[in-house]
Amino acid sequence: MTRKVAIYGKGGIGKSTTQQNTAAAMSYFFSTRVLIRGPRT
């Protein structure tokens, strides 16, 4: 099953930290690999 998670908000509120922690938790609890991909700018 594919899951997509998006994290939005203004700058400087910890989006990157939240993204890393969410990916680590998903990898641990679902026993799978997680891909983190940034925006195409």
The model's pLDDT over 13-37, given as tens digits with 9 standing for 90+, comes to 888 898 899 999 999 999 989 888 8
Residues 6 or more apart whose CB falls under 8 angstroms from that of 22 comprise 5, 7
Give mean pLDDT, residues 5-15. Answer: 83
* Identity of the residue numbered 11: G
Tokens representing residue 40 in the block:
């195409």
Q: What is the Cα–Cα distance from 33 to 24, expressed in whole angstroms?
A: 9
Residues 6 or more apart whose CB falls under 8 angstroms from that of 36 comprise 19, 20, 23
Give the residue carrying structure tokens 């990157």.
16
Give the per-residue pLDDT at 41. 61
